[in-house]
Amino acid sequence: MILDSYTTIQKEASAEISEKKSRFIAAIAPATTEDEALAFLESVRLQHRMAKHHVFAYVLHAGARVRYSDDGEPSKTAGLPVLEAINHADLSDVIIVVTRYFGGTLLGTGGLVRAYTQAAQAAIACAEMVRMSLCVDIEAAIPYADYEQVVHLAKLNNAKVAHTDFSDIVHLRLQILAQDTGLVDKLTEVLRGSKDIRVSEPYTAVF
């Protein structure tokens, strides 16, 4: 089942915390596929070649794919806390990689859980959130006399004007949430039953 909307991040971000001289560097990135997630993981590993642990977790919207790894840390002290931080923030299509540089002092299971959780939360706090929604485009050819009324109607129905081409007639493309296609009927009425109104297949976009 395709969800109508979900929250992800706009671009990569990072944060760092310290716990008893151990450094925890958390990097978060958008990822819509497993290949993208794993490519980001590999880039972090290459950036921090000297670190022993590169703990990660990712949640993908498509297929509800979830994966995490403790990467050598005690079971459920690292990857799972990072995953829980993602879930608590209600994010999808993201990966978080937390790189640990050991500071010489053992943290214990509780200390590790706390540190990995705080590092992941810090990276999330630095990221720019965006809402992804299931949208459609509505394209219509509009006489100049009806243009202002159509644009006003679009605004009243929370549609965005995605493109306008002024030629012998106005070619307008509107973006709207997929569940709000009742606007088509209103446009048809305004344009006096015009057949030149097309609705695209649903797609996911920032809205």
1 confidence band (pLDDT: 50, 70, 90): very low
Residue 100: its pLDDT value, please? 97
Query: What does pTM read for this prediction?
Result: 0.83
Mean pLDDT (whole number) for 81-100: 97
By percentage, how much of the chain surpasses pLDDT 90? 88
pLDDT in tens, 23-37: 999 999 999 999 999
Task: Reply yes or no on whether the pLDDT at 19 is more than 60.
Answer: yes
44 confidence band (pLDDT: 50, 70, 90): very high
How far is residue 161's CA from residue 134's CA, in Å, rounded to a whole number?
A: 16
How far is residue 79's CA from residue 26's CA, in Å, rounded to a whole number?
A: 12
How far is residue 152's CA from residue 174's CA, in Å, rounded to a whole number?
A: 12
Q: Yes or no: say if 52 and 88 are a contact pair by the CB < 8 Å rule.
A: no
Q: Yes or no: say if 136 and 178 are a contact pair by the CB < 8 Å rule.
A: yes
